[in-house]
Amino acid sequence: MKKIIVLVSAISLIGLLSNCHSSSDKDKAQPEGGNEHKDIQAFRLLDNSCFFCHSPGDERPNAPAPAIAEIRKHYITSAVSEEQFTKDLIRYLSGPADSLSKIPGAVKKYGLMPKMSHTPEQLATISHYLYQYPVGEKDWFTQVYPLMKEKLQSPGKQASPLETGQEMAMKTKAVLGMYLLSAIKDRGTEGAVEFCSTRALQITDSMSQVLGSRIKRVSDQNRNPVNIPENEALSYIQKMKAAIAEKESPKPGFSETTEVYTGYYPILTDKLCIQCHGEKNTDIKAPTLSIINRLYPEDKATGFKLNDLRGVWVVEMKKKK
């Protein structure tokens, strides 16, 4: 119980994402003539996968990442079109790298963010909302933010089971990513391996209890023996790998029984992953490999390249009676 309370406190601390660029028509707190359905869809994505680390309002001490307003200030200027902003943001979020960031000071301070498992369409939806609305400014945060939170709960606006499962997976990934980046910052890549061996499962289990669903990560090339996939998960892993082989984006899977919805969401490797899951003695340095061999003598989780399928999130949600 104590672990859950601590985790909830951590979520509360980072769960809220200041000043932005000069005012214009699109900088009103709530521009007229917007598409409410698309706005709610975009806000849901931001609220469940971005605002965890990127504060939507006031700057917070010991934040794990720059506030949303700070990001907009560096990416959106009077000379930047929405098309260019979308291109720049999607390119960075699809594969975070030092050379792609427009906020080098933030990378130095916080480190590179982990890659999130959004589709190009979802990233475009997020980009449009960030460009059109003054997300992070005081008026937006005090007027629009609470209104949008309320709309998410209104009849007909709730997410589908497939979307809800993805939100839970992204929340869990955000919390794990925050702790993982902290471990790397404090103790290097070797610290990340130690963290994963002792804390990752605990945090995932705690998030399952906090979110009221069963959440886990599995892979056909597992490192930890508890992450071996069951038959249905393995089938979706194979389908996702086939899509990647055809140069297509892997899509989430979904199934249901009389009692449970289950979502399967791809986990793709990024630069952060390759430090522990890439090629031995090239991507993975000798000290890191030594710890992996000691902690996981039957390890199968090396040899990955960027944007390979590392595994899937499995989210089991009980149906409401």
pLDDT band at 112 (very low <50, low <70, confident <90, very high): confident
Burial readout 43-54 (b: 16 or more C-beta within 10 A, e: otherwise): bbbbbbbbbbbb
The yes-or-no verdict on residue 213 having pLDDT over 70 is: yes
pLDDT band at 257 (very low <50, low <70, confident <90, very high): very high
Identify the domain boundary among 152, 183, 212. Answer: 152
Identify whether residues 254 and 166 lie together within a single domain: yes
* 112 domain-assigned: yes
* 185 domain-assigned: yes
Identify whether residues 171 and 60 lie together within a single domain: no
* 275 domain-assigned: yes
Question: Exposed, middle or buried by CB within 10 Å (0-12, 13-18, 19+), for 318?
Answer: exposed
* 2 domain-assigned: no
* 10 domain-assigned: no
Which residues are within 8 A (CB) of 167 and not within 5 positions of it... i.e. 6 or more apart?
44, 48, 49, 159
What's the token pair of residue 316? 């089991």
pLDDT band at 21 (very low <50, low <70, confident <90, very high): very low
The yes-or-no verdict on residue 250 having pLDDT over 60 is: yes
Domain harbouring 86, CATH code: 1.10.760.10
pLDDT band at 153 (very low <50, low <70, confident <90, very high): confident
* Count of structural domains, the chain: 2
Identify whether residues 142 and 172 lie together within a single domain: no
Identify whether residues 246 and 310 lie together within a single domain: yes
Identify the domain boundary among 152, 170, 192. Answer: 152
Identify whether residues 99 and 226 lie together within a single domain: no
- Summary mean pLDDT of the chain: 84
Identify whether residues 146 and 239 lie together within a single domain: no
Residue 175: what residue type? V
Query: Sheet containing 309-318: which strands, arranged edge to edge?
Result: 214-218, 309-318, 260-268, 253-256
pLDDT band at 1 (very low <50, low <70, confident <90, very high): very low
Identify whether residues 68 and 185 lie together within a single domain: no
Tell me which residue has tokens 């089971």: 161
Residue 118's pLDDT is 79
* 222 domain-assigned: yes
Identify whether residues 288 and 198 lie together within a single domain: yes
Burial readout 75-108 (b: 16 or more C-beta within 10 A, e: otherwise): bbeeeeeeeebbebbbebbbebeeeebebeebbe
Identify whether residues 41 and 174 lie together within a single domain: no
**Model pTM?**
0.69
Identify whether residues 147 and 178 lie together within a single domain: no
Domain span holding position 26:
15-152
Residue 159's pLDDT is 80
- Taking only the tens place, the pLDDT of each residue in 26-82 is 444 554 545 888 899 899 889 887 887 888 987 777 777 889 999 998 889 888 999
Identify the domain boundary among 152, 176, 202. Answer: 152
Identify whether residues 60 and 136 lie together within a single domain: yes
